[in-house]
Amino acid sequence: MGELGFCTIADLTQYLRHNLAIDLAVDSGTPLVLVRLLHNKILYTLLPWIRCYLSYFDTITYGNFMPVLLIPFILYGLLTNPGRKWLWPVQLLLPFFFIINPLYLGLEPKVQIFSGYYYTLAGVGIIKLTYDWLDKRKKPNITG
């Protein structure tokens, strides 16, 4: 769904219109009230939204824009320093920014923002891992 895995609200509405039209055509012999009750459920629209949101955390999406080997460094950078708790809301809200696309960004700016953000996180993770490794080596090994 979407260009290069960037699912947008336009993709979601097109998907929902298409599937609703197919489902309504299949249920043509059923009374209209029953069809409306079956197909206007929250889950009918919520599941594609969840699938679209989670596609931004998929390794295939990451693999389109950066080496997948950087994912452990991204996780290390996010999980190890409690001072970077402000990154978690950014991490969780970034897919909504791309789905809703309030700035009407084209594909190239989306790729630059997406890959730049994750390359920065990977750099933070690599630097943090290096500092932790050097700090561990500096401490004297005291065995009693």
Q: Using only the alpha carbons of the chain, give its radius of gyration.
A: 22
Q: Report the SS3 class of residue 123.
A: helix
Written as one letter, the residue type at 79 is: L
Task: Provide the token pair at 75.
Answer: 């996780």
Among 78, 62, 60, CA closest to 126:
78
Structure tokens at 25: 């055509």
Give pTM, 2 decimals. 0.76
pLDDT in tens, the chain (144 residues): 677 778 889 888 888 888 777 766 666 666 666 666 666 666 678 888 999 999 988 888 888 888 989 999 998 988 887 777 788 888 899 999 999 988 888 889 999 999 999 999 999 899 999 998 998 888 776 665
Nearest Cα neighbor of 74 from 112, 128, 110 is 128
